Amino acid sequence: MINIVWAIVFVLVAPLIGGLIAGIDRKITAHMQGRVGPSIFQPFWDVGKLFEKENGVVNETQIFYAICYVIFMAFTGALFFAGGDLLLVIFALTLAQIFLVLGAYSANSPYSFVGAERELLQIMAYEPMVILVAVGLYVATKSFSVSDIASSTVPVILLIPGIFLGFIYVLTIKLRKSPFDISTSHHAHQEIVKGVTTEFSGRSLAWIEITHWYETVLLLGIVYLFFAFNPLLGIAAIIIVYLLEIFLDNTNARAKWQFALKSSWLIAVVVGVVNLAALYVLNGGVS
């Protein structure tokens, strides 16, 4: 019953937290660029305006994919915060992203088509490292259950620091921050054409923005798992990691997709696989 309550809390509260994080992000970004910036509540007002606009779409299929995108992302986060299986969480997260890609492909637009291709490349780039995160957490805690990992007293960050660093690297891709805002960006420092969301507007685009807020909360929850043995340390890690992402976003130009793909796989092999191999050897020596 407690797990169900946590799932419901996520579905209801995560958009509020995610929207506030987006607002704080924009405020800090503005100060880093020497501007005052909008209110931290601006993302909510922007989404509200989108709901008031006419829902202009190329075809009705776009609406279906947008709805599937938000439903599966909400389901993914609910499963995570309900303490479900981490592998299933990762599978559902990837499936949600595929619906966004299909929505972009369904529009007969070259800009949307290119955005969809770039989104697929990003999925290919970060997916190996995300899977290694689940494997690393299992090796460290002997469980794929999020609830078991969150309640474990094992200092996970000390056992798999390489995997944590690898996850931080691909987190830049997942949060659509520079230099990896390849398919789309949440800020105006990208080109006018909005990549994968070019052909979305009105309520459909509003739901996509809300889905991004769900995703942000989910990803920061995964960061917390590495420090779950000390809740205060976990919260501090979330704040530091997100501030680092904002800093990277404002100090790097956008990279080419080839660099994003190759570097992410290289990081996964070097810090992920090597960390797992070292941990395996250590466990073997102890046994």
SS (H, E, C) 188-251: CCCCCCCHHHCCCCHHHHHHHHHHHHHHHHHHHHHHHHCCCCCHHHHHHHHHHHHHHHHHHHHH
DSSP 142-194: S--BHHHHHH--S-HHHH-HHHHHHHHHHHHHHTT-TT---S--SSTTS-SS-
* Residue that is written with structure tokens 């891709």 in the block: 173
Rg (CA), the chain: 19
Identify the pLDDT of residue 190. Answer: 54
CA distance 274 to 151: 26
The pTM (predicted TM-score) of the whole model is 0.90
> Using CA of residue 2, residue 6, residue 7, residue 8, what is the dihedral sign?
positive
Give average pLDDT by consecutive 10-residue segment, the chain, 287 residues.
89 95 92 86 92 76 90 95 93 93 84 86 91 93 93 92 93 88 67 71 88 95 95 95 92 83 89 87 62
129 and 264 Cβ atoms separated by less than 8 Å: yes
Cα 12–chain centre separation: 18
Q: How far apart are CA 287 and CA 283, in angstroms?
A: 6
Query: What integer pLDDT is reported at residue 110 of this predicted model?
Result: 82
Written as one string, the DSSP assignment of 24-84 is HHHHHHHHHTT-----TTHHHHHHHHHHHS----SSHHHHHHHHHHHHHHHHHHHHHHTT-
